[in-house]
Amino acid sequence: MNIAEKLFGHYVSFQDKDELNYKMIKYYDKSQAINCWRIDADTKGECKSSFVQLPLDLISIETLKTLQIWNKISKEDQEILVSDEEAEKRSVNKRMEEVRAGRRGKEEYAFLPREVPCSECGDTEYIAPSVLYRKIGLSTVEGEAAIEKLNEWLSTHKCSKCAPRRRGRVRNPLYVDIPRSVPCSDCGKDCTLNAKSVYELTKGKKDDIDKYCKEYLCRSCNPDWGSWLKGGKGRKPNPENVGFPKTAKCVGSCGKDIPIVPNHIRGKAAKLGITVDELIGNYRCRSCGGVIPHKKKRKKKNV
């Protein structure tokens, strides 16, 4: 048994027009309302309820008769409730008729076929009349002119198998003159182009685009791309670091070749007050005591 039944089991249950659940306490003639508990949630572990005064116009006449309240209402109020309920039914019926009418085929679509044949393979495919109406552009013509326009379109229509449609978004019109791929002018390899980069380099001028595509070099053939060392790996070094040694031999007990960073070596040499060559010639790794001690900052005492 649910908690609501344990708490309100001695009250009569009913529903309003919105199918919400209530437990009736008492009906008051003067206020034309029912004092009741509204059951908001009712499970084995939880029960939510609230005390409300429910007006009679929110309850159906059939429910009022079941609760034995209908006979206690004056005839004038009964007539008002009956007229309100009939008006609600008419409103609902009207909305339903409008919905059904909206589902029926419109008169302007009556002459349009539902199955459209392909002019090449003969297979038919379903196209909704509203879609076909917009696709052919029949909103500007009527009568025989619309039928002629339809027949003209049907004579050239091809299905998606015979004329595959390109999927995805439409390309930027600024890139119309830029091909999607070009062959390398040296090795002939087919290379994909970045349309945005080409447009920025050529300012969208057709002659410059044609020249760029004609002289295009792939990454392997382009001497100014990527591995400018041509045989080496890594990015192009800073001019001031050209010729700087990549490792330094530790003069300590390990004797290892330690990779070094130019900027770190310069900063360390400046702190020690010696030259870079002197530091590299007498370099010690961390394991052999090559760490510069830092002065610890004393914390200020709060006075």
State whether the Cα torsion 71-76-77-80 is positive or negative: positive
Contacts of 302 (CB under 8 A, 6+ apart): none
Q: What pLDDT is attached to residue 9?
A: 77
Contacts of 103 (CB under 8 A, 6+ apart): none
Amino acid at 265: I
- Where is 268: in which H helix or E strand? helix 262-272
Q: What pLDDT is attached to residue 181?
A: 92
pTM of the model as a whole: 0.34
Q: What is the pLDDT of residues 118-166, one digit of tens each?
A: 888 888 888 888 888 888 888 777 788 888 888 888 888 888 888 887 7
Q: What is the pLDDT of residues 246-272, one digit of tens each?
A: 899 998 888 889 899 999 999 888 988
Determine the average pLDDT of the residues in 48-69.
Answer: 88
- Is the Cβ–Cβ distance between 215 and 185 less than 8 Å? yes
Q: What pLDDT is attached to residue 106?
A: 67
Determine the average pLDDT of the residues in 84-96.
Answer: 84
